[in-house]
Amino acid sequence: MFVIEYKVKASKTQYTAIDEAIRTTQFVRNKCVRHWMDNQGVNKYDLSKLCKQLGNEFDFAKKLNSQARQVASERAWSAIHRFYQNCKAGIKGKKGYPQFQKNNRSVEYKATGWKLDPNTKKHITFTDKNHIGRVKLIGSRDIYFYSPDQIKRVRLVRRADGYYCQFLINIEVKERLEPTKKTIGLDVGLESFYTDSDGHKEPNPRFFREGEQKLKQLQRCLSRKQKGSSNRRKARQKLAKAYLRISRQRSEHAKRLARCVVRSNDLIAYENLKVSNMVKNHCLAKSISDVGWYQFRVWLEYFAEKFGKVAVAVPPQYTSQECSSCGRIVKKSLSTRTHACECGARLDRDENAAINILREGLRSAIRSVETCS
């Protein structure tokens, strides 16, 4: 399943109707969470029944398509189920207790509540009682290439720079490539985005650091505006657009880099890092968040599945300390950037780690093949 996204062009009245549908989705989800909190033994079927009751009780909730209300209850149950799973797994610290949503930005339809225009391409009509109506879709992809049965869900998303329509297409995306007979190990870092086992260092673009000065200016401008004024709303929108631009830059960089790495190698080994734990270091939290390791890993796994390659996550313990030549443990601090061992090996610290990651990734791949056979 993959997503096709279009920019939505509509009138102010239609944008207001979309906002109303998004608020209703948030209302239904929060009501489902409250129902679960107040009643013991509530399951997802009980939350599904609650959607119909809310439609009968509140006129504004009834305007939203029934299946869109069902999706809101599914979102609530997803948060509840994740909390249950974390409790069963015995995760230390916060378990992710379901919270009430304050700033929902999307409404999602299933098979009903929308209809593609059969005569004019790039138009969609929402047929529920929210009166969103017919809107124009701006984008280069041809949604009419896919049959309506393949479109499982349609989502309207509000962002800082406008409204978007997403189509979730249920097809298998596979592309077979000729084997490159190459393997690679990746050691991600802050000085360089990653260092591979061949010694190549990919520069770290630092998108947030580059745009931080502009963000500070926009933040100061926002703080000077009177609360509730039109100028404050405009300043807040400018600030949100600046953050959105940085987020898109980071995501696009991770996606293009991951695609290039996967296409060029048959096996990719990378560190299985817990970024959520690493950002607890307040000295490095901003830099770790800026580099976008998690997004890079997600795209690596996606493209490996798409192109039929092997992506292996390797435990990060001792990958920097172990010598890639003799296996001896050489203790070093973060400030030590060169690996020097008694056996005579002397190379960059990150390159040494990348070689160890590749070696462990190959071992893991061999063990998994032997287990399957």
pLDDT in tens, 183-233: 999 999 888 999 998 889 999 999 999 999 999 999 999 999 999 899 999
Point out which residues pair with 201 in neighbouring strands. Answer: 195
Same domain? For 146 and 193 the reply is: no
Q: What separation in angstroms does the CA of 7 have from each of 24, 59, 140, 175, 310? A: 22, 30, 10, 28, 35
User: Residue 220 falls within a domain, yes or no?
Assistant: no
Q: Give the catalytic positions in this structure.
A: 187, 271, 350
What is the rounded average pLDDT of the residues 233-258?
94
Domain that holds residue 259: 183-203+251-372
Number of domains in the chain: 2
Evaluate whether 58 touches 69 at the Cβ level (below 8 Å): no
Cβ(83)–Cβ(43) below 8 Å? no
- Whether 213 is covered by a domain: the verdict is no
Question: Is residue 355 pLDDT above 80, yes or no?
Answer: yes
User: Average pLDDT, whole number, for the chain?
Assistant: 90
Radius of gyration of the chain (CA): 25
Q: How large is the average pLDDT for residues 335-363?
A: 85
Percent of the chain with pLDDT over 90: 61
Residue 243 identity: Y
Does residue 192 share a domain with residue 141?
A: no
CA distance 110 to 65: 9
Asked if residue 300 lies in contact with residue 318, where contact means CB atoms within 8 angstroms, the answer is no
What DSSP designation does 97 have?
Answer: -
Same domain, 260 and 298: yes
* Claim to verify: residue 143 and residue 256 sit in the same structural domain: no
Is residue 219 in a domain?
A: no
* Residue 232 domain flag: no
* 8 Å CB contact between 353 and 187: yes
Domain membership of residue 271 (yes or no) is yes
pLDDT at residue 329, as a whole number? 85
pTM comes to 0.85
Same domain (yes/no): 112, 199: no
Please indicate, yes or no, whether residues 265 and 345 belong to a single structural domain of this protein.
yes
Q: How confident is the model at residue 137 (pLDDT cuts 50, 70, 90)?
A: very high
Question: CA 269 to CA 197: how far, in whole Å?
Answer: 10
> Which residues are registered as beta bridge partners of 202?
194
Least confidently predicted of 21-35, 98-112, 149-163, 311-325: 311-325
Task: Assess whether 27 and 117 both reside in one domain.
Answer: yes
Instruction: Tell me, yes or no, whether 160 and 255 share the same domain.
Output: no
What does the buried/exposed string (b/e) look like for 93-111 if buried means 16 or more CB atoms within 10 Å of the residue's CB? eeeeebeebeebebbbbbe
φ/ψ (deg, to 5) at 315: -60, 135
Give tens-digit pLDDT for 5-40. Answer: 999 999 999 999 999 999 999 999 999 999 999 998
In a domain, 349, yes or no: yes
Query: Angle, nearest 10°, between helix axes 207-224 and 230-264?
Result: 170
* Pair (87, 9) in one structural domain: yes
> Residue 102: inside a domain, yes or no?
yes
- Give the pLDDT mean for 285-302: 91
Q: Is the pLDDT at 173 greater than 90, yes or no? A: no
CATH number at residue 195: 3.30.420
Helix (H) or strand (E) holding 53: helix 44-57
pLDDT: is 332 or 204 the higher one? 204
pLDDT at 215: 94
pLDDT given at position 206:
92
Q: What is the pLDDT of residue 373?
A: 63
189 lies in the same domain as 319: yes
Kindly state whether residue 7 falls inside one of the protein's structural domains.
yes
Most confident of 139-143, 163-167, 168-172, 188-192: 163-167
Give the pLDDT of residue 184: 92
Asked if 25 and 146 sit in the same domain, the reply is yes
Statement to judge: residues 162 and 282 lie in one domain = no
- What CA–CA distance (Å, rounded) separates 80 from 96? 9
- The distance in angstroms from the start CA to the end CA of the chain is 29
